[in-house]
Copies of this chain bind each other. A is one copy, B any other.
Amino acid sequence: MPERLMRHEQTIVRGDCIEVLSELEPESIDMCFADPPYNLQLRDSLHRPDRSLVEAVDDEWDKFDSMAAYDRFTEAWMSEVRRVLKPNGTLWVIGTYHNIYRVGTVLMDLGFWILNDVVWIKSNPMPNFRGVRFTNASETLIWAVRDKDRKDYTFNYEHMKRYNDGKQMRSDWYVREPVCSGSERIRDENGDKVHSTQKPEALLRMVVEASTNPGDLVLDPFVGSGTTAAVCRKLGRRCLGIEMIDEYVEVARKRLAAIEPGCWLEDECPQVAAGE
């Protein structure tokens, strides 16, 4: 099974992420990007001032019995990821305040060494309709190397300068591309979004360009709509994605099939810039 996986340039495997990970060779992955469930704890329904209903994330995969259960889930998948990462491999995890503190703590406790906390600043965040908090305008990406003392992780420092006018790239990223509400958003025949939390390709592009080289093997334990694999295909990186839900697997595979490999290798990513 692992043998077969490695030969493909980009592969989406259907299955439970921890089970599939346990079959993989140790120290075989160059970089892992993980977009785990955020464990949102939404209580009542929410209406906009115009009385329209906000379509909430109510997927079963985002429900956990307790914070302790979420911590155990995090530790389970992340320790498997650590096992299959090369010692100088790096892990990215994205989250919001609902889960990122739990994730960051587990990550440190497992021995990962944090390199940066990147802030994705949204140009069009959903406002706080009731006016009881600040607009939640960002998500956080933790970037960490597997082993603390490995200094030879991949970071394309000079390359990333292009996103900050030739100066050292900063950890605050402004993704001008909309938050997946445009033509990039994958919808079904009814016009409904297929996945409730699809990530923009521009964001993943920064992650992949920064921390991998062409030909590297990227792991995505929570494929969802398949953005990571799609970006890897466009940038000439290999990718192994794992997804539990049949519908998402199909969507991601179809998405991959429509992409010409390496089509992004020559140009740069115009939708992202550093702050100030």
Count residues on chain A whose CB falls below 8 Å from chain B CBs.
51
CB-defined A-B contacts under 8 Å, sample of 11 = A101-B108, A104-B105, A116-B133, A116-B134, A117-B136, A118-B134, A119-B172, A123-B276, A127-B168, A135-B171, A137-B275
Bits for A168-181, please: 1 = Cβ < 8 Å to B, else 0.
11111010000000
Q: Which residues of A pack against B, CB within 8 Å? A: 63-64, 67, 96-98, 100-105, 107-109, 114-119, 121, 123, 125, 127-128, 131-138, 140, 142, 148, 151, 155, 157, 160, 168-172, 174, 210, 274-276
A63 to B123, CA, bound (A): 38
Q: How many copies does the complex hold?
A: 2
Whether B136 contacts A171 by the Cβ 8 Å rule is yes
A142 to B101, CA, bound (A): 10
Q: Per a CB cutoff under 8 Å, which of B101, B115, B151 touches A101?
A: B101
Residues in B with CB closer than 8 Å to A105 are 101-102, 104-105
Closest to A172 in B: B137
Whether A67 contacts B109 by the Cβ 8 Å rule is yes
Whether A137 contacts B170 by the Cβ 8 Å rule is yes
